[in-house]
Amino acid sequence: MRQQFTEVQRLQPELAAVETQAKRIMQSTDSIDQRRQFVDELYRRITELGALGSRAEERTQQLNERMEAAEERFTTLGQQAEAADKVARTVAGATNGINETESQLRDLGKVVSSLTERCESVEALAVETQSLRKEIEQRTRSVRDAAKDLERT
């Protein structure tokens, strides 16, 4: 009986360490859940930006088609050469803006990929945390059972 009591006393620092670790794991789990909500919102926004980018590409294509048609008409009409020059400058500015938008969309795609990898990493960490929590709970139960057995004896 003394040996069991000594064994339980010897395990007491480990139990304290396990309890501290369990608290940290619970805090980590809460933090992961909060970050997941943030990542989900960020992913939703990025998806919206992707849709806007698609619309911008469609508009770019439409603008390019309009520009080509306008250039054909302006080449045949010498009287309207000045108006054609203004339209070309406007379209060029829009094309530059669209090119910048496309570049930003590419960068956003990289960010989305990075965030996806982070999400997967966070989810893997959550799985590990849950596994550790179960193991800690099992060990805690075993120690409690041993303490009860010790008290009974």
Q: What is the pLDDT of residues 84-136, one digit of tens each?
A: 688 888 889 889 988 998 999 999 899 989 989 988 998 999 999 999 999 99
When pLDDT is averaged across residues 46-75 and rounded to a whole number, the result is 86
Q: What is residue 82's predicted lDDT score, i.e. its pLDDT?
A: 78
**CB burial of residue 11 (10 Å; 0-12, 13-18, 19+):** middle
Q: Where are the domains of the chain?
A: 2-152
- Across the chain, mean pLDDT equals 86
Phi-psi region of 43 (alpha: psi -120 to 50; beta: other; left: phi over 0): alpha
When pLDDT is averaged across residues 133-150 and rounded to a whole number, the result is 90
For the cut 90, the answer to whether the pLDDT of residue 138 exceeds it is yes
Dihedral sign, CA of 6, 9, 13, 19?
positive
For the cut 70, the answer to whether the pLDDT of residue 74 exceeds it is no
Q: What is the pLDDT of residues 53-66, one digit of tens each?
A: 889 899 989 989 99
CA distance 134 to 12: 19
CATH tag for 2-152 (out of 3.30.390.10, 3.60.70.12, 1.10.287.1490, 3.60.21.10): 1.10.287.1490
Give Cβ neighbours of residue 15 (< 8 Å, ≥ 6 apart).
140, 143
* Element housing 143 (H / E): helix 81-152
Q: What is the pLDDT of residues 80-94, one digit of tens each?
A: 677 768 888 888 988
Are the C-beta atoms of 127 and 28 separated by less than 8 Å? no
- Answer yes or no: pTM beyond 0.85: no
